[in-house]
Structures are given as structure tokens and as C-alpha cells.
Amino acid sequence: MTPRPKSMMTPVSMTQVNIKDNFWSPRIRTNRNETIPHAYRQCKETGRIDAFDLKWEPGDEPVPHYFWDSDVAKWIEAASYSLAAHPDPKLDALLDEVIEKIAGAQQPNGYLNVYFTVVKPEARWHNLGMWHELYCAGHLIEAAAAHYGATGKRQLLDVVCRYADHIDSVFGPAPNQRSGAPGHQGIELALVKLYKITGNQRYLNLSKFFLEQRGQNPSVFQLELENLSSEDAELNRHFFQKKAGFDTRYCQDHLPVKEQTEVVGHAVRAMYMYCGMVDVAVETEDDGLLEACRRLWENVCQKRMYVTGGIGPSRDNEGFTEDYDLPNETAYAETCAAVGLIFWNHRLLHAEGRARYADIMEKALYNGALAGISLNGREFFYVNPLASSGAHHRQEWFGCACCPPNIARLIASLGGYIYSESDSDAYIHLYISGQGMLRTAGTQVLISQTSSYPWDGLIDITIQPKRPAVFSLNLRIPGWCRKAALWVNGDKMNLDGCIKHGYARVYRKWLPGDEVRLELDMPVERVRAHPNVKQNQGCVALARGPIIFCLEEADNPAPLHRLILPKRAKFKTIYNGDTLGGIVKLQTEALFTEDTDWSEGLYRFQPPKTHPCLLTAIPYYAWDHRAPGEMQVWIREGGE
């Protein structure tokens, strides 16, 4: 094993970032004023929060579910991030109230899970494969880390430390401990967060233990299944028992993690596990884990990812199938999976310092994840298809409500994804207007950005070191950008000589008030799928900058599949501040296939007639906000 540095760079905390952006500020405000209160009301009205009072008795409705704890935990995390960026005494008090309930539900030995305390206490740690105990524990730990970081209050942190200590006493390699792994990953990355806060090495060791439990022969889940009743094992058999035998690809247990080469199974479980792999790899300097993540990244991002950054085409396993299998109308592409993809790429970015990870992070952020929440912040997609007949719509909540608080915690913590720092470098990954306070070259450096991104590629940056300092400013040149230009204090730079790992690296002595201008060419691009993606042959998707566009029936003649985009058609870009929260839409002349002259027969020799029409495309994230109708991302290309 070749040791590696702990990380190439460190993310700048969201508490050091102030976003003042025409695109993101309204969404952050909506998240704070609408989404987070809405998620609280839903958790309250559905019984999720009051379930921590442990007053449920047999016969009562609703019956607490074994994943309910995680929904409340993610709400706490989102609310805590919001509180860190925007102090709010009422929200602070509400968090204290909910945390008090959670603390009151903790058992004397540290155990904490509502379902396995009042509904099935006899089944505690009985079915790790499908019953989410360790997953819920992971989200509680993440919530505690966020709340402690936002407020400095230790109540929830102390609760989860007691819980983690209990879990550590149950699971491990010692003779008095048991083997096992979470069927739904999430605790692995959470334990590393807890280790970083507390310095307790046992939490890092436990995270590593859970990762190393995967891929054993026989599987820990197979051994577990042998001790389950027929009724309790129903879910396990559905997902694990296949014609070829016992197969735990569904939860990435088919091989030891360091030997895995393909992304398989449930997409969200995979993303959370890969996050844990990067975290453990960085903290233990284990390049074997990082190398596995590189292989898995190549597989998902080059063979199994939608153009929107969505992942997981199959409803059956909420996840992956095989290379190049990317259907459009039946795409699953769960919002949580896109959020998880962002989490994973953010970690890989800091481990390796390569812009390709920030490119994927940005793609999923502006498209596959952002589509998961409505403009009003109170309706959500669980599933994000790339084509719709008009029947797919956002909902206010779900029985399995993982997605709403997940997108809420992402938006609330967005400031933490923009900048990074090291002893000698400052990095800008996302072009979001506002300010970030970094520390590099032994001094504080205030970086200010101003732009109309993602609608325009002109970004003005001001550098304000506390004192003159020599360091490198690294500006990501997005993978979608074919032409860029850079000026420092009005002098044009030679970009060819300063690109490193996808970043324009400017090394100099920086003075207060130094100005940088980055111009990213942002034409309308036609994106084509790999020849093995059979669903999209002869079609193109439209992209401009980081935004993927789609057609909606509200703007175009229907049915949409009859539209033909001529190969030489030129697009107009039109900004409309009054439509869908303010968007750039694309327009061009296209063709529409007629059926008016078609006889009663189903087939004929003559081609159909076409007539000219106006084609209008809007950002994919903004679809399903107007009259119900068809939508599609991929457009048939033909003619001249």
C-alpha cells in the first residue's frame, strides 16, 4: 500500500461563505422559509417526531417505520445548516425541542431507534440487511455533527457519541463482538465525521470495520438470513436470493470493497458507501480504497450516468443494471442518488484535486438533483425521468420520505461546495456569486465572485488577502467549456501554460484588490450519447453551460416525439426573468411530422410530410411547473 497525503485540499466551511447570487440566493431563501418548515410539518403530522416520545402501543396508528428516524435526522441536519448561515431564534428553539425528544428516547445502554424500542424490541440488530438500524444511526450522527457545528451545543452530539459507543461495543472483531454490516450504508461516512469532531479513533476503526465486512464468503447477510423467520426474511429473499444463488449486489456486498469494479445495486446505498470509502481512505492513507473508487467512478460516470447527472435506471432495485442501459421514460434516477453522487464527487475532488469530480458535482447539482424540488420548495420528485407522457408530477411528501430532507440539506449547505484551500493554494470549484474567507499562505484571503452564472460565463473575481501573499489561485475550467479566457488585473493570461488537472492555476504574489476575470464560452451544444445507448441513437440533448435542457408540451407542438431538430438549426438564447423563476430558454426552427395525409393503414412506403415549427427548450430542473403535458430531454435529429 502506497501512503498518500491526507487530502489535496480542504473544503472551506459554509460558515465562511456568504452567497449573494441571483440564481442560488432565492433557492436558499425558499429552502429556509418553505422547504425546511414544510419538512418539519410533515414529520410532525405523520408522527415521525412524536414517535420519539416512545408512547406507541400495539394497535395504534400510524405504526412507526424502521426508517422514520432518518427523516427526522435529515431535517435536523438541513435546519442546522440553515441556522449556521442565517441565525433564527425560533428555529434554534425548535431544534432544541426535537433534540430533547430524541435524547429522551435513548436507552440506558445508549441504543437509539424508535422502531426497535417500541414496535419490535426483540428484533434489535436482527436484520441489518434490510431494517435500516445502522443507516438511521448514521443520519443521527450526521445531524449531530451539523447541529454542533452550527450552534456549539453538545446535547445531540453527546447522545450520538453514546450511541456510537454502544454500536462499537456490539460490532467488531473481538471474541465478544459480532460481525455485520449495514444493508443500507450511511453510518460509515457518519462515523468518520464523528471521529473528526471528537478525535476518538474507535469511530474511524468502526467505519473501516463495516467496510471490510462486505464481500465475505459466506456473506454476513447470508448468515443473518439463516436466523430470520420466514416472515421477517421476505424482503431479504426478494433482493438477495436470485436464480444464480445468494446475491447481495443490491447492497454492494458481492465483493470486498477494494475489489469492486462496477457500480451495482441500489444507487443511494452505493453512493453513501463510496463516500465512506473515500473518507476512510483519506484518514488512513489507504490508496487501495481510493483506487477502487477511481474504478467505480470511471464505470458510473462514463457508462452508467444520465446526461442530467441522474443515476440508477431501474425501479426494481432503485439502482443500476448494466453498462449503457439508460432508458428515458422509465428512468428511476432517484433524487437521493444525485445528491449522493454530489457528496461522493466532493470527497474525491478533495482527495485528488481533479476538476473532473467538480464537473460531475456541478452537473448533478444543476440538473439531476435540482429537478427534485419545485420552485416553491414544497413539492418533490422522488424519481427523475428524462421523458414523461404527462402523468409524472412532484408530490408534497412520500411514505418513504428520504428525498425531501436530502435535497433540503444539500441546498442549506451549498456554501461548503464552492471553495477549498491548502497551505499554498486557493480553489474555486463553483461559480456562485458572493464571498468566501479562505486561509492560505499563512494569511486570510477574502475571495469575491460576481457573475450571472449559469446563464452567462463571465465571472469577475476580487482577491483580498489580509496581507500580500504568494499562493496559487485555481479556477476550474469546466469540462463543458471548449473555449475560455483569463485576465489578471487586465492582463490576458496564456491558459495553455497554466492548466493543471482541469484548473487554471495562477501563481503569483497577490495584493489586496487584485482583480481576475474568467470568461467561459457558453454556446448551445448538442450532446450525443455513446453508440451503445440504444435509446438515444439519432437523438441529441441540448446543453448550455452546466444546464441540460428539455422540451415541454407547454412550449411545443405535441406529441413531442414528432419533433425533428435539423442538423444546421441555429439557436437563440432568450433570458426571461418572469418565467419559472428566471430562466434562459432556447429557441430554433424545427420540423414537425404530420399525420394528416396518412391513410388508415399502419404502414406505407412514402415518408410522412413535415412542416416548420418553433422548438423551445427550458432547463430540465424547471419542468413540471406549468400545465401537465409531455416532456423529453432527447430530441430526434435529422435533415439539414
Handedness of CA 320, 326, 329, 334 (dihedral sign): positive
Largest CA distance in the chain: 80
Which residue, 103, 183, 184, 195, is CA-closest to 140? Answer: 103
CA distance 573 to 522: 11
Strands 563-566, 635-638: pairing kind: parallel
Phi and psi at residue 80, to the nearest 5°: -65, -45
Helix (H, G, I), strand (E, B) or coil at 218: coil
CA distance 618 to 550: 6
CA distance 37 to 83: 13
Which residue, 215, 253, 240, 224, is CA-closest to 126? Answer: 224
Residue-wise over 220-240: b if at least 16 C-beta within 10 A, else e?
Answer: bbbebbeebeeebbeebeebb
CA distance 288 to 614: 53
Annotation marks residue 57 as catalytic: no
Degrees to nearest 5, angle at CA 106 with 101 and 109: 170
Burial-class residue 555 by CB neighbours within 10 Å (0-12, 13-18, 19+): middle
In this structure, the number of other CB atoms found within 10 A of the CB of residue 462 comes to: 15
CA distance 183 to 270: 11
Which residue, 100, 190, 210, is CA-closest to 145? Answer: 190
Per-residue pLDDT at 1: 36
CATH, domain 419-520, list 3.40.50.1260, 2.130.10.10, 3.30.70.260, 2.60.40.1180: 2.60.40.1180
Residue pair 525/480 in contact by the 8 Å Cβ criterion: yes
CA distance 450 to 516: 11
Residue pair 310/331 in contact by the 8 Å Cβ criterion: yes
Residue-wise over 157-182: b if at least 16 C-beta within 10 A, else e?
Answer: bebbbbbbebbbeebbeeeeeeebbb
Per-residue pLDDT at 315: 95
Residue pair 357/348 in contact by the 8 Å Cβ criterion: yes
CA 40 to chain centre: 21
Check 133, 188, 224, 318 and give the catalytic one: 318
- Cell 469575491 belongs to 448
Helix (H, G, I), strand (E, B) or coil at 581: coil
Crossing angle of helices 267-284 and 201-212, rounded to 10°: 130
Residue pair 85/412 in contact by the 8 Å Cβ criterion: yes
Phi and psi at residue 563, to the nearest 5°: -75, 140
Burial-class residue 412 by CB neighbours within 10 Å (0-12, 13-18, 19+): buried
CB neighbour list of residue 542: distance below 8 Å, 6 or more residues apart: 524, 525, 526, 527, 548, 549, 571, 586, 617, 635
Q: Model pTM?
A: 0.97
Check 161, 402, 481, 550 and give the catalytic one: 402
Residue pair 618/580 in contact by the 8 Å Cβ criterion: yes
Annotation marks residue 402 as catalytic: yes
Residue pair 545/520 in contact by the 8 Å Cβ criterion: yes
- What beta strand segments (E) does 489-628 contain? 491-492, 499-500, 503-510, 514-520, 524-527, 539-544, 547-552, 563-566, 572-576, 583-593, 610-619
- Cell 462486505 belongs to 214
Handedness of CA 47, 49, 53, 58 (dihedral sign): positive
Degrees to nearest 5, angle at CA 453 with 448 and 458: 75
Crossing angle of helices 335-352 and 287-303, rounded to 10°: 130
Amino acid symbol at 446: L
Phi and psi at residue 306, to the nearest 5°: -70, 160
Domain ranges of the chain: 11-224+379-385+397-417, 248-372, 419-520, 524-638
The low-confidence residues of the chain, meaning pLDDT below 70, are: 1-6, 243
Residue 307 has, within 13 A of its CA and on its CB side, a CA count of 29
Which residue, 520, 413, 525, is CA-closest to 475? Answer: 520
CA distance 15 to 523: 35
The number of helix segments (H) and strand segments (E) in the chain equals 15, 25
Cell numbers of 506, please?
Answer: 495562477
Which residue, 226, 206, 380, 358, is CA-closest to 276? Answer: 206
CA 446 to chain centre: 28
Phi and psi at residue 105, to the nearest 5°: -90, -5
Tell me: cis bond preceding 26? Omega within 30 of 0 counts. no
In this structure, the number of other CB atoms found within 10 A of the CB of residue 126 comes to: 16
CA distance 465 to 443: 7
Cell numbers of 96, please?
Answer: 432544541
How many residues in total does the chain contain? 640
